[in-house]
Structure 1
Amino acid sequence: MVQLHFWPIAQCLVLLTLANGVPVIAKRLLGDRLAWPIDGGWLFWDGQPLLGKSKTLRGLLLAILAAAVGGTVVGLGMPIGALVGFGAMAGDMLSSFLKRRLRLASSAEAPGLDQVPESLLPLVLVEDFVGLSVWDILIGVGAFWIGELMVSRLLYMLRIRDRPY
């Protein structure tokens, strides 16, 4: 029989939400201030941006910091929170890299590609630390996918996000 660990899944989902939401809110509040592209504007061999201008050092650092602080709030600790934040942003950058190779516009909707890497990678990174099973990770990715679609639409309606997913 499969035993699910709902509390660790919920804790990780809170951290994923923080890591993914704080850069969007920072963009709305700060505009282009301190928004240096992680890829430095470099182009890949296909002539497309490596990641795109929406992946910024500001967003990366704020996501890791927010998740680290959130880690202490939800009881996982700062290092686990920072690891979730880092993993979420690494997954987000992987998504952006792949979307640029597919010639999708920056912030273009790509269901699954937008949610799976940025939730799967951090959950796999912390699975041993928080006691997640493969089923817990799959449920966490699915819950994040559905939740992000709903939250994205809400942030769009509140005019925090430029476009919904």
Structure 2
Amino acid sequence: MADNPDRPVDQAPPPPTPPQEHSPPQEHSMTRTEPGGGEHRATRARRSFTGRAAGARRRAVGALATAISIVTAVVVLILSVHIVFVAFEANTSNDLVRWFGDRATDLCWQFRDVFQPDGHKTEVAVNYGLAALVYLAAGRILVDLVRRLA
């Protein structure tokens, strides 16, 4: 009993003090608590909604980026197939060859006559290949921008 020198030896230690009741937590403007300590239903619903909205936005951005990638790939494929058809002198009276040629001519727009080498095959390969590279680069830049802005 030598822990406290100020207390007489024959006196019993004081009883432990009961835990003090804490005042209820202050309500913040953004969250409310229920008496049991849980979040208010409206707050949970709001957080759940914003989480779902963020998830929906991520899915929409992903879908848009995927669509841009697919369109870019299809355009580059059309231009590449046309280059191959011209390089190997495919039958121009064939409907498939004609279809790819028409689409490639439409998609090539300003790149059709950037370079004018001597041979027709070289001219198509260089100009349509340049158009394909520009589409490919522009598509990648757009995909990156869409993903970064979201």
* Fold shared, TM-score > 0.5 on shorter chain: no
Could you say which structure has the larger radius of gyration?
A: 2
- TM-score of the superposition, structure 1-length normalised? 0.30
